[in-house]
Amino acid sequence: MSNFRRVVTGLGADGKSCILIDEAMSRHGGLSDATEEEAQLKRSMIAAAREVIALIDHTKWGRVAAAPVCRTDRLTAVVGDDRAPADLVAGLRGMGVEVILVDAPASEAAG
């Protein structure tokens, strides 16, 4: 998933979905980013979107960065790798957020 970093952030072709890659995500703090400039851009995209999908690798779960992007209850789905913390995955699912976990590449799973 690290190959997706900063590549997929943007509105979907239908203009209804917003796909984000962020620096951090916590169950109660939502998505956050390292810089206010990026957070502002992402908040604008979220405001125009019906769905918000976050791509978050296991290293970003349970963290909070400097600039808030959106609350957890605004997320439609989170796509992460299978090394995501089980308790945080269960918490999001309990809040009605769809969580899709994919196999981490062997090089990442070993590290």
Whether residue 1 has pLDDT greater than 70: no
- Position 35 scores a pLDDT of 92
Confidence of residue 105 (pLDDT cuts 50, 70, 90): confident
Question: Structure tokens of 6?
Answer: 């900063």
Q: From residue 64, how far is each of 26, 60, 68, 110 by CA, in Å? A: 6, 8, 8, 25
Confidence of residue 17 (pLDDT cuts 50, 70, 90): confident
Q: What is the pLDDT of residues 46-62, one digit of tens each?
A: 888 888 899 999 999 99
Predicted TM-score (pTM) of this structure: 0.81
Confidence of residue 109 (pLDDT cuts 50, 70, 90): low
Q: Which helix (H) or strand (E) holds 38?
A: helix 36-48
Q: What is the pLDDT of residues 19-28, one digit of tens each?
A: 777 789 998 8
Q: Is 54 exposed, middle or buried, given 0-12, 13-18 or 19+ CB atoms closer than 10 A?
A: buried
Answer with the residue of higher pLDDT: 76 or 110. 76
